Structure 1
Amino acid sequence: MVSLTEARTHNFNLKNLAPGLVAVFVGGTSGIGLYTAREFVRNTNAPHVYLIGRNQTEATRIIEELNAINPSSQVDFIKKDVSLLRNVDEACKEITEKEKKVNLLFMTVGYFTFKGRDETSEGLDRKLSCHYYARMRFISNFAPLLTAAAQDPEPKAALSRAVCVLDPSVGKKTAPNFSDLSLKSAFSLRSCSIHASAMQNFALEHFAKEYPRTSFIHAFPSIVDTGVARDAYGRFNTAFWIVGSVLFKPWMVEKKESGERHLFAATAPRFAPRAKKEEVQDVAVGADDVKGSGAYHVNWDGEAMGDSKKMASMRAEGAEKKIWEHTEEVFRKICDEGGKY
């Protein structure tokens, strides 16, 4: 376990990095995205932060808060429903027209529901789209800017990370249905969780090979009060949420600590890009049990989680290739051809 003191010391020292780091927080107007954005702004010099979300009113309040925390910061809000991939492309286009680099892409966007399949106009389930397809589309679109950040001639400005907050462990235990990866035929909330986790795990391994100067992290947050579950419960049973909060309290990570620990995971040298693993003495074990592989599964406490027998078996059977070919097909039909999947 990485102690909270160690995480805080590391985060404080981010002030030694070059000013002007650029960070994009997808889902940054609430929950873990907001908690981490606060700590990023608090611990860096003159950062430029983009928050992508749907709540303009909340975003206005947050921008005022972040500017008060660090008056040298610049914070912009882009209002988009990123469950639609075309909206993801629009948000990315707006940023790429203004920026030459992105140092940190931090994604917590999600969709909390007890319903069954909820198909978008693009033919994808809304929950699976938020938890997987939209995130991978952001990475694909920002890959050139992440690479540009990694190649910055100033070493103190060369941070390049993409972080997905979900749960890598679900997809390490159970294989997705490779004949129905988008879950058109056999959707359930459990299968959606398995697919989003497993597909994310292997897609990030793909990205780590394609873009070896950037680190790719799939982080497990543990139990954190993000407000999303409370809002969902409130529609039919506020008391249920209150009881659940009491029962889970001993295992919950406090909001500020969650932000601090996620900032650590998003910036610590031990989670080095594949191309720089030789430069780091205590480089972490990657998702495939190879030190410095560039794709990492990080537990809530900052420790790296290695491979599993199930993932190793899926990897040997070509899971990464199957998942990425499917993902590219989805992108082609929706984003390139303007149709639906």
Structure 2
Amino acid sequence: MVNLQTVKSHNASLKSLGSGLVAVFVGGTSGISLSTALAFARHTTSPKIYLIGRSQSAADTAIASIKTINPSAQSTFLQSDISLLKNVDTTCTEILAKEKRLNLLFMTPGYFTLKGRDETAEGLDRKFSLHYYARMRFIANLLPLLTAAAQDSSASAGFRLSRVVTVLDPHGSVRAGGSGSLDYSDLSLKNSFSSSKCAAHATLMNDLYLEAMAQRHPLTSFVHTYPSVVSTGVMRELWFGHAFSVLLKTLFRPFMVPLEESGERHLFAATSRRFPAKAEAEEVEGDVEIGSDGIKGDGCYWVNWNDEVFPANNRLEKTRAEGGVEKVVQHTDEVFKQVCEEGKSCP
């Protein structure tokens, strides 16, 4: 475990990166994303913060909190239902029109449901879209700004922050005895959907797509984190969600990560030089973590709640060896082409 004091000391040093860092928090009006946004505001100078979500009232409260923490912060709320990829594109277009660079893309959108496949107008399951397709679409659209941040010659402290963080579970597909495999005949689960299969596919496809992005875009680092048990609004769409959340808090309180600590730890994962981009790994002084593919400093990292990287897993290694990365990227590119460029439903 990375000691919490080490985490806080690192975060307190972020002011050395200079003023005007730009960050986008998808799902940023509540939970871990908001907690991380507040930590980002607390530890940086004159940051520009974009919060993306559905609730204007939640955004107003979040922005007021940011202003209280750091009056120099510029906060912008972009209201959008990003379960639809067309709305992701619209939101990204707004950001691209306003910014020349992006230092951090931080994503947590999603929810818990028992209702089964809930198909959107674009032919994708809503939960699957939030946990996977929408997140990867944000990456694809905003990579030019992330690359610009990585090439920013004016960056202070010799460190050009360019990072993507997706919060879900790098080992979700093998947790509790899962197979760590994908159904390549139905990656979008159009014909074989179940809640457990959706969770496994979404987590593993996050893993593999980020690995590909780290190789294709070596100036940006990509981090997939597991938050452990944190008190958030993830169950808000269940009719019994509030009561169940109260019960879980009671039962698991000794094992829960406090929300503020989770924000500090996720800010560490989002900014620490332990998780460098592939192209800068050899230049980093100090500890550099092992990448998800087992190679030190390879640009993609699977990180536990305590800021330590996950150990290798044989089942995930097998999926990678059978061409899982390439198959997931090909499928995702095809979905983006059909849904976003041709306006057709996902196969």
TM-score with structure 1 setting the length: 0.97
Which of 273, 276, 282 lines up with 1:272 in the alignment?
A: 276
Cα deviation for residue 237 of structure 1 reads 6.5
Following the alignment from structure 2 to structure 1, what is the Cα–Cα distance between the partners of residues 246 and 106?
A: 29
Aligned to 1:44: 44
Bigger mean CA deviation after superposition, 200-209 or 168-177: 168-177
2:316 is aligned, of 280, 303, 311, to: 311
CA contact (8 A) 2:110 2:234 kept: no
Q: Could you tell me which of 163, 166, 169 is aligned with 1:164?
A: 166
Q: Distance in 1 between matches of 2:141 and 2:245?
A: 38
Shift of the 50–237 alpha-carbon distance from structure 1 to 2, 3 Å rule, reads closer
Query: CA deviation digits over 1:237-285, x for unaligned, max 9?
Result: 6543322221111110001101000000000001000001101231100
Would you say 1:180 and 2:186 are equivalent positions? yes
Question: Counterpart amino acid of 2:268?
Answer: F
Other-structure match for 1:120: 120
Counterpart among 240, 245, 248 of residue 244 in structure 2 = 240
Aligned to 1:297: 302
Q: Which residue of 227, 230, 243 corresponds with 1:224?
A: 230
| Range with bigger deviation, 298-307 or 47-56 | 298-307
Task: Name the counterpart of 1:324.
Answer: 329
Q: Which residue in 2 is equivalent to 1:203? A: 209
Whole-Å Cα distance in 2 between the matches of residues 309 and 331 of structure 1?
31
Tell me how far 1:312 sits from its aligned partner. Answer: 1.4
Q: Residue type of the partner of 1:163?
A: V
1:312 counterpart letter in structure 2: E
Residues 12 and 322 of structure 1, relative CA distance in 2, 3 Å threshold: same
Q: Distance in 2 between matches of 1:6 and 1:209?
A: 30
User: Which letter does structure 2 place at the counterpart of 1:106?
Assistant: F
How far the C-alpha of 1:316 sits from its partner, in A, is 1.3
Secondary structure in 2 matching 1:122? coil
- Distance in 2, Cα, partners of 1:79 & 1:241: 26
CA distance in 2, matches of 1:238, 1:197: 25
What is the SS of the residue equivalent to 1:86? helix
User: 2:256 aligned to 237, 252, 258, which one?
Assistant: 252
- Letter of the aligned partner of 2:74 in structure 1? Q
Partner of 1:143: 143
User: Is the aligned partner of 1:56 residue 2:56?
Assistant: yes
SS class of match (2:62) = helix
What is the aligned partner in structure 1 of residue 132 from structure 2? 132
Q: 1:33, 1:282 → 2: CA distance? A: 26
**260, 263, 266: which one aligns with 1:262:** 266
Q: Which runs of 5+ in 2 are unaligned?
A: none
Secondary structure, counterpart of 1:300 in structure 2? coil
Structure 1: distance between partners of 2:5 and 2:51:
28
Q: Secondary structure at the match of 1:190?
A: helix
The CA distance in 2 between the partners of 1:227 and 1:202, in whole Å, is 27
Q: CA deviation at 1:111?
A: 2.3
Preserved CA contact (<8 Å) 1:23 1:102: yes
Aligned to 2:338: 333
CA distance in 2, matches of 1:197, 1:237: 23
Counterpart Cα distance in 2 of 1:240 and 1:146: 39
Counterpart contact for 1:23–1:48, Cα < 8 Å: yes
Aligned counterpart, 1:284: 289
Partner of 2:107: 107
Contact 1:286 1:305 in 2 (8 A): no
- Counterpart of 2:66, as a letter, is L
C-alpha separation in 1, matches of 2:7 and 2:241 = 37
In 2, are the aligned partners of 1:171 and 1:199 still within 8 Å (CA)? no
Distance 1:197 1:274 in 2: 22
Structure 2 equivalent of residue 88 of structure 1: 88
1:206 is aligned with what amino acid?
A
Distance (whole Å) between structure 2 residues aligned to residue 202 and residue 294 of structure 1: 13
Is the partner of 1:303 in helix, strand or coil?
coil
* % identity of equivalent residues: 53
Once the two structures are TM-superposed, the CA of residue 65 in structure 1 deviates from its matched residue by 1.4
8 Å Cα contact 2:111/2:237 also seen in 1: no
